[in-house]
């Protein structure tokens, strides 16, 4: 599988040639806010290497991806959510053909029912960047063991 594809928007975000509100990046993944979020803070976590589905991801990379998903889920609670929704589409309903995991903040009564999901938007690009920075800070704190709530 190719390390990156020039026409893949997620590969462009990883290469920093496309705009994104990056929450965090490291040597294995990049996390950024969804441009059409279910709720404010909805984050996508993508492997740096281009893989289309979970089945395509080399087995030795699965644990690292989901360790980061787990930390992001904790950061959502510290961000003010009561919990989180973690999801991944493989081919069907996959709007960008690059493996990505959705981590969505949830609260009781938020309106998310079944698979008829409302969408929201950020107040401005500045609001989007503020949310990305705060989630990134909380993600880092979740690893350090410091209290996040």
* pLDDT of the residue at 1: 52
Four-way CATH pick for 9-142: 3.30.428.10, 2.40.50.100, 3.40.640.10, 3.40.47.10: 3.30.428.10
* pLDDT of the residue at 146: 55
DSSP annotation string for 3-18: S--TT-HHHHHHTT-S
* pLDDT of the residue at 117: 62
Please give the DSSP secondary-structure letter assigned to residue 55: G
pTM for the whole structure: 0.81
Query: Could you report the per-residue pLDDT of 22-54, keeping only the tens digit for each?
Result: 999 999 999 999 999 999 999 999 999 999 999
Domain residue extents for the chain: 9-142
The residues facing 46 across adjacent strands are 30
Average pLDDT value for the chain: 90
Q: What is the mean pLDDT of residues 57-69?
A: 96
């Amino acid at each position: 599988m190719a390390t990156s594809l020039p026409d893949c928007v997620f590969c462009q975000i990883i290469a920093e040639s496309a705009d994104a509100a990056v929450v965090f990046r490291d040597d294995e993944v990049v996390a950024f806010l969804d441009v059409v979020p279910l709720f404010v803070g909805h984050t996508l976590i993508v492997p740096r290497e281009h893989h289309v589905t979970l089945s395509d991801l080399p087995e030795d990379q699965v644990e690292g991806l989901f360790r980061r998903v787990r930390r992001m889920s904790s950061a959502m609670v510290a961000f003010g959510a009561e919990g989180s929704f973690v999801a991944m589409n493989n081919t069907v309903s996959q709007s960008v053909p690059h493996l990505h995991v959705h981590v969505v903040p949830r609260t009781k009564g938020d309106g998310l029912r079944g698979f008829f999901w409302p969408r929201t938007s950020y107040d401005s690009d500045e609001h989007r960047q503020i949310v990305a920075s705060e989630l990134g800070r909380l993600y880092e704190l979740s690893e350090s063991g410091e209290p996040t709530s």
